Amino acid sequence: MKQEKLVLVTGAAGFIGFNFCRRLLLEGRFVVGIDSLDTNGDVRLKKDRLAILKKERRFSFGHFDLVDRKRLESVFKKHRPQRVVHLAAQTGVRNSEFQTDRYVNSNLVAFCRLLDVCRSHRVGHFIYASSSSVYGLDARIPQRTSSPVNRPISLYAATKRANEIIAHSYSHIFQLPVTGLRFFTVYGPWGRPDMAPSIFTRAILGGTSIPVFNRGRLIRDFTFVGDVVESLIRLLDQAPAAVKPTGRRSPHAPYRLLNVGSQHPVNIRDLIRMLEAELGRKATTHDMPMQPGDAYITHSDSSELFRLTGFRPRTTLRKGICEFLDWYLDYHGFKQGVGA
């Protein structure tokens, strides 16, 4: 087997990781998935995703924490991956304020362990998930990777920004090809229960009230998971190259940062109205103040992604929400169809 056909994916039982692994398998790739099945999330959902992947003969799975260097080394020695996509992390802004050790362990210690193993095994391309949350208080709109991002407003955002800086240093020192992707509010089938589409849908179907933070004056660049997966697929074999020094100039690391967003931000209340229309039910809402760590607006400039790959996220929010609801209603056993 050619090693370029094999991809190691961390967070394989997670939302993006699962959807990405399925696409890789459909394309005939061999996939080595790693996931700790951390309890900070819906473990049943993770196990259901994993059960689907395990049906494929080209998928192998390692159930362990990335902090475990010995287990990591054994996986790399056995499979010798040349493509590593790191999607495992503790996610979410709010939990990070109360679970500091957990976030530092998963998002910093494990990240460094994986980077170091990739370096020692001379991986051909390391891709990792960053987040739009890194923009914090610094960025202009639309948000560009060239903007300074030195004022994160949550511990989660700080860990993701630290990932970017650490990854660049590894890329520079060891000439490790690295691509960091700042994902913007990813949603879609098999999505996380703690994200707005799931929270709002659950409330509408259950007849409970939806908390609307900052009294609805929040704008998000919702990005469909299928578009995120397509971006990953197109970048997988496009490792950045180092720029050789000329004259007194220092060499540039084989490193890049890209936004992955729809570039069409919408107000949170518009999302609620869309869910109401598709579900055929009225939502009850109550206004809440702004939450610490939340951004007022996310709006990506993903032009560099398009320049490199010829692809830009293109799924409209309405189409993406319909696909999400089709999955949600089926998975949770609702008889009602979308739009009923």
Q: 187 near 254, Cβ under 8 Å? A: no
Nearest CA to 87 out of 110, 69, 68, 71 is that of 110
Residue 246: what pLDDT?
Answer: 56
pLDDT at 289: 83
C-alpha dist (Å) from residue 161 to 4, 128, 129, 180: 29, 12, 11, 10
Structural domains in the chain? Answer: 3-187+224-260 (3.40.50.720)
- pLDDT at residue 336 tops 60: no
**Mean pLDDT (whole number) for 61-74:** 97
- What pLDDT digit, counting tens, does each position of 24-66 carry? 999 999 999 999 998 877 899 999 999 999 999 999 999 999 9
For the whole prediction, is pTM greater than 0.85?
yes
Q: What are the tens digits of pLDDT across the range 116-153?
A: 999 999 999 999 999 999 998 876 899 999 998 988 88
- The structure tokens 């220092």 sit at 250
Would you name the residues annotated as active-site residues?
156
Residue 242 is predicted with a pLDDT of: 72
pLDDT per residue over 266-300, tens digit each? 999 999 999 999 999 999 999 888 777 677 889 99
For residue 291, the model assigns a pLDDT of 77
Please report the sign of the dihedral spanned by the C-alpha atoms of residue 193, residue 145, residue 301, residue 260: negative
DSSP per-residue codes, 195-261: SHHHHHHHHHHHT-EEEEEGGG--EE--EEHHHHHHHHHHHHT----PBPP-TTPPPBPSEEEEEE-
Residue 96 pLDDT greater than 80, yes or no: no
Q: Supply the DSSP symbol for 40.
A: S
